[in-house]
Amino acid sequence: MLNAIPANFALSPPDCGTYKTYRPILAAAIPIITTLVPKAGAALTFLMKLADGVCGVSAQDDAAAGDNRRQVASQILDMAAADPQWRAQLLADPNAALVAGGFGSEAQALRASGALGDTADCSFSCIIST
């Protein structure tokens, strides 16, 4: 996570893959950091805006991706609650269960959008993680 925003931002641009992966954590930490050390919160907010510009991340895209991920996760959890056999398959082989349950294209779209980070092998756990 420390590589998401390099110490010498002016000379070394951020690793956009790492930044996009950890951006939600950094964004969630801003209110806590701002409460404890207001200037550090302001500095982090400023650096994140710079990194957003360099990495082509917009707050609207980030929010839409999060909303889509939450919607798919909710549908998966509803299906797992309603179908014990599918839930067992989901636990045993998440990728096969997502495809069998009709969520293969949604999971692939979330992976491709970068909403789950840069994890090529991401499955159910990445979709439901917050």
Question: Angle 59-82/104-113 helices, nearest 10 degrees?
Answer: 160
Q: Are residues 38 and 92 in the same domain?
A: no
Q: Are residues 73 and 99 in the same domain?
A: yes
Same domain flag for 53 and 69: no
- pLDDT at 127 exceeding the cut of 60: no
**0.85 cut: is pTM over it?**
no
Distances (CA, A) of 64 to 29, 59, 71: 20, 9, 11
Q: Tell me, yes or no, whether 22 lies in a domain.
A: yes
Distance CA 90, CA 63 (A): 27
Q: Which residue has the higher pLDDT, 51 or 108?
A: 51
Answer yes or no: is pLDDT of 56 > 70: yes
Check whether residue 44 and residue 89 sit in a common domain: no
Within a domain: 37: yes
Q: Tell me, yes or no, whether 68 and 50 share the same domain.
A: no
Tell me how many domains the chain contains: 2
Which pLDDT tens digit goes with each residue over 69-98? Answer: 778 778 888 888 899 998 888 888 888 888
Q: Lowest-confidence range among 5-14, 28-37, 62-71, 111-120?
A: 111-120
User: Do 78 and 112 belong to one domain?
Assistant: yes
